[in-house]
């Protein structure tokens, strides 16, 4: 490659991408422009809010482009006018047509939050926790027209701790993604990148999370339910119903118990949590959020006007379906 600095255009939108953008800015690879999704209305006032990537770009005086999509030739021409050597894509949230991928000299490099080909798709962090995976990581890849199917460039792994939620794992992977991106660009400038094709037979799809997946089905095992609670924290938050009212479960663990009760029965309440019989084992709810209240550790919840009673049962999964 030429010794001249790479002309980099960055495309991303949320916090996860902002970590990589910040790392680029602090390195020798500061982007010449940033792309992100259009501003969205949010909050009670439905005011337009800028995303994390746009915020980082603006405070660093980097030009920002926010096309609705790349279906118009004008948007593709605008990108071409920037004369990018490489397009870095991190959680951008838009499908890029082949014309966009072909515009940069060295194509588009994506930073993906899994060890490809495992967990291609929109929700690799949550799906890895839900599946009980022991590790995950970051893969940089050369983008093609498929969904996370491009040739792999560099990978770095990290363990999934038993205490990890999607929030904590997200933050670690965001930093690891930034590190892996910089190493990828270093290798690119030194002509040391080696593409490796993905083994499609090992691929699995990390489909987008739906809110109804967060409903706790007490007929499942305590281990499965504990994984749900971790995977859906902080969004959309696991939930269950008690006497027809929705309770959110922010933290829980599977515990060993010799006693067997009816499924969904509250079999113990103490300072450690609310123990609920599942289809296999006991789930101990440690942090709970009552309707209209804030999330509380169980000992604090029972210091107030707690409605949950020992010996009663949470509503069945069938009942939840009727309620929702």
Q: Is the pTM of this model over 0.75?
A: yes
The per-residue pLDDT for range 159-176, each reduced to its tens digit, is 999 999 999 999 999 999
Q: Cα separations (Å) of 185 from 158, 190, 204, 308?
A: 21, 9, 27, 55
Q: Which residue carries 């281990």 as its tokens?
A: 223
Res 84: pLDDT: 98
Adjacent-strand bridge partners of 238: 249
8-state DSSP, 239: E
CATH superfamily, domain 8-206, is Formyl transferase, N-terminal domain (3.40.50.170)
Reduce the DSSP state of residue 200 to 3 states and report it. Answer: helix
Q: Which residue carries 């002309």 as its tokens?
A: 7
The per-residue pLDDT for range 75-131, each reduced to its tens digit, is 999 999 999 999 999 999 998 999 999 999 999 999 999 999 999 999 999 999 999
Res 320: pLDDT: 54
Res 2: pLDDT: 54
Please state, in angstroms and rounded to a whole number, the distance separating the CA atoms of residues 79 and 128. Answer: 34
Say if strands 282-289 and 245-255 run parallel, antiparallel, or are unpaired. Answer: antiparallel
pLDDT for 66 beyond 90? yes
The mean predicted confidence, pLDDT, of the chain is 94
Q: Taking the CA of residue 182 as centre, how many other CA atoms within 13 Å lie in the half-sphere pointing to its CB? A: 17
pLDDT for 46 beyond 90? no
Q: What percent of the chain is predicted at pLDDT more than 90?
A: 89
Q: Report phi then psi at 177, rounded to 5.
A: -60, -40
Provide the residue ranges of all domains of the chain, joining segments of one domain with +: 8-206, 211-323
Radius of gyration of the chain (CA): 23
| DSSP of 41-63 | EETTTTEEE--HHHHHHHHTT-E
Q: Which residue carries 């690799």 as its tokens?
A: 124
| CATH classification code of 211-323 | 3.10.25.10
pLDDT for 50 beyond 70? yes
User: Where is 270: in which H helix or E strand?
Assistant: strand 266-270
The per-residue pLDDT for range 183-238, each reduced to its tens digit, is 999 999 999 999 999 999 999 999 999 999 999 999 999 999 999 999 999 999 99
pLDDT-derived band at 4 (thresholds 50, 70, 90) equals low
């Amino acid at each position: 490659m030429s010794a001249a600095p790479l002309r980099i255009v960055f495309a991303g939108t949320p916090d996860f991408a902002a970590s990589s953008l910040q790392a680029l800015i602090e390195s020798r690879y500061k982007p010449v422009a940033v792309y992100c999704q259009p501003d969205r209305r949010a909050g009670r006032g439905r005011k337009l809010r800028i995303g994390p990537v746009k915020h980082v770009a603006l405070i660093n005086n980097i030009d920002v482009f926010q096309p609705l999509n790349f279906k118009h030739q004008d948007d593709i021409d605008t990108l071409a006018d920037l004369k990018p050597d490489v397009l870095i894509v991190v959680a951008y949230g838009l499908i890029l047509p082949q014309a966009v991928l072909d515009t940069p000299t060295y194509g588009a490099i994506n930073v993906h939050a899994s060890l490809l080909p495992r967990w291609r798709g929109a929700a690799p962090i949550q799906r890895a926790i839900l599946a009980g995976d022991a590790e995950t990581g970051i893969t940089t890849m050369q983008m093609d027209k498929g969904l996370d199917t491009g040739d792999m460039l560099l990978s770095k792994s990290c363990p999934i701790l038993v205490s990890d939620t999607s929030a904590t794992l997200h933050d670690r992977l965001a930093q690891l993604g930034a590190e892996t991106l910089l190493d990828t660009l270093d290798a690119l400038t030194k002509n040391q990148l080696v593409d490796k094709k993905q083994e499609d037979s090992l691929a699995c799809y990390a489909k987008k999370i739906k809110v109804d997946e967060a409903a706790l089905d007490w007929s499942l095992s305590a281990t499965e339910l504990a994984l749900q609670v971790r995977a859906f924290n902080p969004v959309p938050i696991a939930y269950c119903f008690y006497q027809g009212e929705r309770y959110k479960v922010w933290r829980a663990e599977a515990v060993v118990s010799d006693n067997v009760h009816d499924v969904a029965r509250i079999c113990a309440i103490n300072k450690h949590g609310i123990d609920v019989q599942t289809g296999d084992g006991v789930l101990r709810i440690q942090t709970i959020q009552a309707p209209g209240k804030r999330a509380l550790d169980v000992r604090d919840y029972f210091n107030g006007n707690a409605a949950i009673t020992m010996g009663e049962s949470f509503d069945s999964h069938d009942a939840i379906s009727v309620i929702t």
